Structure 1
Amino acid sequence: MPTTEEPVHHELQCLYREHREWLVGWLRTRLRCHHQAADIAQDTFLRLLGRGQPMAIERPRAYLSTIANGLVVGLWRREQIERAYLEALAARADACTPSEEERALVFEALERVARLLDGLPLRVREAFLLSRLDGLGYAQIAERQGVSVNAVQKSMLRAYRHCYQLLYG
């Protein structure tokens, strides 16, 4: 008796065979690294496998490149977060070198925060980070952003509402 997973796996196998090499080449032009391109291509197909649903894909290359592009953006964001963290760590006079495990945990937490704040306007994100990470008060944030305290309060409310909806909504 065939399971519902068999057609999905068969579709994915065909998609993989027919488009993997193209996808790796497409990614290689963007990443300029064959190994990263192969990893992202593999992650793209894993995303599809994780969906476990039949795929009625009319334009497979457009579909695959959209998923892969999202993964590339995520990779670049992680690299940017890691660089910013390492620069901030190097700038601290009292900095002791964290272990690889501690660094991985910090990078993971920073990535979660970045994903959580995606979709918020820049001024709202900045106000939230200045408050939560830098410990600035609303008056200090207002002065730095050149807005009223009331505008900062509204930004913070919007940021909290956004985070709450993503986490619990």
Structure 2
Amino acid sequence: MSAPNSASTTGIDVLYGNHHGWLQSWLRRKLGNAFDAADLAQDTFVRVLAKREPTDVREPRAYLATIANGLVANHWRRQALEQAYLDALSAQPIAFAPSPEERLLILETLEDIARLLNGLPPAVCEAFLLAQLDGLTYPQIAERLGLTVNVVQKAMARALTHCYQALYTPAP
């Protein structure tokens, strides 16, 4: 991996210096907590660095807020997944509770699945999860979601194509 050129580094330095404090405050109001806001502000600038695009944008705060909004959505989705897992775990008898290592692996797997399905419309995602996790047939999914079997088939094709592309298409 080559080092960034000095012009792009300078642009990022200026962007960071001029807008990091604002972004962190904006995230703190959105998240209600300074620790997560600090983490996501840093993650936002890591994404800016990873993009390798010019940083002389006309509306830097809008640019940073757009990136940060995606990170906030991922943060909330990850929290929801973790809470759903912890709720399901608390409903199990203690004898069946997984070890801390197994819990971590399960949470990491759930995060990987959430990232993989990111970008799919909610109905497509729900149909895919009903088929893959609950083992429902297309007619059962159609009945549960109030759709036709044909719509479920198209949703599954879209979900499978999306997953295949996410897993096997090389990153730019």
TM-score by length of 2: 0.83
* CA displacement, residues 32-82 of structure 1 (integer Å, 9 cap, x when unaligned): 111111111111111112233432211111111111111111100100010
Q: Work out whether residues 138 and 152 of structure 1, in 8 Å CA contact, stay in contact via their aligned partners in 2.
A: yes
* Separation (CA, whole Å) in 2 of partners of 1:85 and 1:36: 21
| Alpha-carbon distance change, 154 to 48 in structure 1, aligned in 2, over 3 angstroms | closer
Partners of 1:89 and 1:95 within 8 A in 2: no
- The 1:94/1:140 distance shift into structure 2, 3 A limit, reads farther
Q: Mark the runs of 5 or more structure 1 residues left unpaired by the alignment.
A: none
Paired residues in the alignment total 167
Matches of 1:152 and 1:51 in 2, distance apart?
A: 36
Q: Which amino acid aligns with 1:168?
A: Y
1:71-128 per-position Cα deviation (integer Å, ceiling 9, x unaligned): 1111001000101111122223476332333222222221222232233333322221
Amino acid at match of 2:6: E
Q: Structure 1 residues 68 and 120 mapped into 2: Cα distance closer, same or farther (>3 Å)?
A: closer
Percent of paired sites with the same residue: 54
Counterparts of residues 124-143 of structure 1 (less than 5 Å): 124-143=124-143
AA aligned to 1:103 is R
Q: Is 2:105 the partner of 1:105?
A: yes
Letter in 1 for 2:142: A
Q: RMSD over aligned Cα, in angstroms?
A: 2.2
Letter in structure 1 aligned against 2:37: A
1:44 is the counterpart of 2:52: no
Cα shift at 1:19 = 1.1
Structure 2: 5+ residue runs without aligned partners?
Answer: none
